[in-house]
Amino acid sequence: MSDVLVVGGGLVGAATTYGLLREGLSVTMLDEGDIAFRASRGNFGLVWVQSKGDGRPEYAQWTRRSADLWPGLQDALGEETGINTHYEKPGGLHFSLSEEDFEKRCALIHRMHNVHGAAHYGAEILDAKQVRELVPGLGPDVVGGTYCKHDGHASPLYLLRALHTAIEKRGGKIVPNASVSAVAPDGNGFRAETAKGTMRGDKLVLAAGLGNRKLGGGVGLDVPVAPEKGQILVTERARPLLPMPTHVVRQTSEGTFMIGDSHEDVGFNLTSTTPTMSMIAARAVKMFPFLKDLRLVRSWAALRVMAPDGYPIYEESAAHPGAFTVNCHSGVTLAAAHALGLAPMIAKGQIGDELSVFTAGRFDANAH
Amino acid sequence: MPTRIDASGERIAFTFDGQRVEARSGDTVAAALIAAGIDATRRSALSGMARGPYCMMGICFDCLVAIDGVPNRQACMVEAREGLVVTTQDGAMEALS
């Protein structure tokens, strides 16, 4: 019996678990195993602020808060585990490949400035010459871009390993291969039926990614998340060239170029398809023509955990207080907010007002 | 030190860092280098430490060399040919030269 039972050992579950341990609670974290969809292992690795939350200022603020907390998370994990998450915050670039797209992008940035104020948002519009002063090797099709100093990137795999190591060092219990078939209220707390037997906790956090959809009903939570496939290409290593990440290409600290950003609604299908690989490769080569001479050494597909409007779902069950659910598609960006912002709220037993817009009730057409 | 179990085949030669390496027709570049006693063919892109052919079947990427000026070739997957210019892959390549 732990103070908190966390279902899900990916970036969301592990960041939340780590944060709960920091609050002095005892935590058991259940991880499904390698049969799971493993969105955390497929993440692109951006810590991204710019353009997030158009139409939902609370999401922009929450994302920015996570970016502000990230340096502290990186330092804490490094001190506790010796593992470097390779987080860097040099700012990030988004490019436009047509004047039409650039106009739309500028309108978006102006709109978000107006909503949040420059100090709280901090994205700048750069013309064709200015973007070329920031990164080398841009192709002629890049007409301009936007830069945000709060953007950065990290290694999702090192982050996950650091979180798991820190959890164990703080006395948290990680139970692997503990696929959860159901959760339910149990006396004053909750239980989870798992492949490793029944587990109990005073509180329950559902952080099982796409699995939350099936599990939520057991504790009165409606979690309408659905898969959105993304594919990623990885090149051979090269000497450091790109000083900052961009929205579709980033060079890792170990030298590979990661190329991404496809969005497909194909259900629970993890197949990498050639047309999508071609599309993202062609777009990346338009931005950085030198990429055409690099060999690809890996590619994969993973499933984002998407709510209908793309924003997170944070909610405590009204029917069964003490049962929480945490859902998002930005497990790296929001890791710091989950560990250092959300987990203290769960420890206190109440999700803060600043996150009240993120309940699933927003999808209920009959709610008003 | 590995030895050839079958020394038949046409004799060919290429260079590794300027040194003449004798091979047999059908050898991979990696096999010919190992047969010639050369086991360090690159320097790690991260640590700078010496690395050499390991899996010999295209999986481990430890045998990377530059061949005729093209970096990061897998020596175990390229057939040796007369006159190839093979050089140590010294750390990571330049993406934009």
pLDDT digits (tens, 9 = 90+) for A268-317: 999 999 999 999 999 999 999 999 999 999 999 999 999 999 999 999 99
The answer to whether residue B81 scores a pLDDT higher than 90 is yes
**Residues in chain A within 8 Å Cβ distance of B46:** 254-255
Residue B37 has pLDDT above 80, yes or no: yes
Expressed as residue numbers, the domain containing B81 is 11-90
For residues A357 and A367, what is the distance between their CA atoms, to the nearest angstrom? 13
pLDDT in tens, A240-271: 999 999 999 999 999 999 999 999 999 999 99
8 Å CB contact of B93 and A295: no
Question: SS3 of B28, please?
Answer: strand
Provide the pLDDT for residue B7.
82
A135 touches chain B (CB under 8 A): no
* HEC per residue, A235-303: ECCECCCCCCCECCEEECCCCCEEECCCCECCCCCCCCCHHHHHHHHHHHHHHCHHHHHCCEEEEEEEE
- ipTM score assigned to the predicted complex: 0.81
Q: Quick check: is B3 in a domain?
A: no
CA distance A344 to B92: 43
Q: What is the pLDDT of residues A164-211, one digit of tens each?
A: 999 999 999 999 999 999 999 999 999 999 999 999 999 999 999 999
**Hey, what amino acid is at A311?**
Y
A259 to chain B: which residues are within 8 Å by CB?
none
Chain A nearest C-alpha distance from B55 (Å): 16
pLDDT at residue A34, rounded to an integer: 86
B64 within a domain of the structure (yes/no): yes
Is residue A367 predicted with pLDDT exceeding 60?
no
CATH of the domain at B47: 3.10.20.440
By Cβ distance, the residue of B46, B61, B95 closest to A241 is: B95
* pLDDT for position A122: 73
Q: Sorting pLDDT into bands at 50, 70 and 90, what band is B19?
A: very high
B53 belongs to a structural domain: yes
Q: How many CB atoms lie within 10 A of CB A80?
A: 16
Give the whole-angstrom CA distance, residue A92 versus residue A123: 9
Q: Does residue B86 form part of some domain?
A: yes
Q: So what's the pLDDT on residue B26?
A: 94
Q: Do A205 and A5 form a contact (C-beta atoms < 8 A)?
A: yes
Instruction: Give the whole-angstrom CA distance, residue A7 versus residue A201.
Output: 11
C-alpha distance across the termini of chain B, in Å: 38
Comparison of pLDDT for A92 and A112, the residue scoring more:
A92
Same fold? A2-79+156-224+309-361, A226-306:
no
Position A120 confidence tier, pLDDT thresholds 50, 70, 90: low
Q: Does domain A2-79+156-224+309-361 have CATH number 3.40.50.1100?
A: no
- A257/B94 touch (CB, cutoff 8 Å), yes or no: no
Whether chain B has a CB inside 8 Å of the CB on A358: the answer is: no
pLDDT of residue A121: 67
**Confidence at B4, pLDDT banded by 50, 70, 90:** confident
Q: Identify any residues that bridge with A202 across adjacent strands, giving them in sequence order.
A: none
Q: Rounded to the nearest 5 degrees, what angle is found at the Cα of A279, between the Cα atoms of A274 and A283? A: 145
Length of chain B: 97
pLDDT of B1 higher than 60: yes
Residue B84 lies in a domain: yes
Residue B29 falls inside a structural domain: yes
Q: Does B6 fall in a domain?
A: no
Kindly state the average pLDDT of the residues A87-110: 95
Q: B20 to chain A nearest CA, in Å?
A: 28
Give the CATH H-level superfamily of domain A226-306: D-Amino Acid Oxidase, subunit A, domain 2 (3.30.9.10)
Chain B nearest-CA distance from A254, in A, is 7
Average pLDDT over chain A, rounded to whole? 95
Distance from the B94 Cα atom to the nearest Cα atom in chain A, whole angstroms = 5
pLDDT number for residue A54: 85
Sign, CA torsion B30/B35/B40/B41: negative
Judged on CB neighbours under 10 Å (0-12, 13-18, 19+), A274 is exposed
What beta strand segments (E) does chain A contain? 2-7, 27-30, 46-47, 92-96, 123-127, 144-148, 152-153, 173-175, 180-186, 189-194, 197-206, 226-235, 249-251, 257-259, 296-306, 313-316, 323-327
Are B45 and A237 within 8 A, CB to CB? yes
Tokens of A203: 């509180």
Separation between Cα atoms, residue A338 and residue A283, nearest integer Å: 33
Q: How confident is the model at residue A368 (pLDDT cuts 50, 70, 90)?
A: very low
- Cβ-Cβ contacts under 8 Å for A80 (sequence gap 6 or more): A165, A166, A169, A170
Query: Would you state the pLDDT for residue A365?
Result: 66
Query: Tokens for A352?
Result: 């803060």
Domain ranges (residues) in chain A: 2-79+156-224+309-361, 92-148, 226-306
Å between A74 CA and nearest CA of chain B: 21
Could you tell me which chain B residue has the CA closest to the CA of A236?
Answer: B72
Question: Do A136 and B72 make contact, defined as CB atoms within 8 angstroms?
Answer: no
Which residues in chain B have Cβ-Cβ distances shorter than 8 Å to A295? 72
Give the chain B residue whose CA is nearest to the CA of A296: B72
Rounded-to-integer distance, Cα A204 and Cα A214, Å = 15
The secondary structure of B33-88, three-state, reads HHHCCCCCCEECCCCCCEECCCCCCCCCCCCEEEECCEEEEEHHHCECCCCCEEEE
pLDDT band at residue A35, thresholds of 50, 70 and 90?
confident
pLDDT of the residue at A51: 86
Specify the residue for token string 């994990």.
Answer: A77
In which band, very low, low, confident or very high, does the pLDDT at A110 lie, cut at 50, 70 and 90?
A: confident
Nearest to B45 among A255, A257, A291 (CB): A255
CA distance A31 to A35: 10
> Do the chains contact at B94 and A294, CB–CB below 8 Å?
no
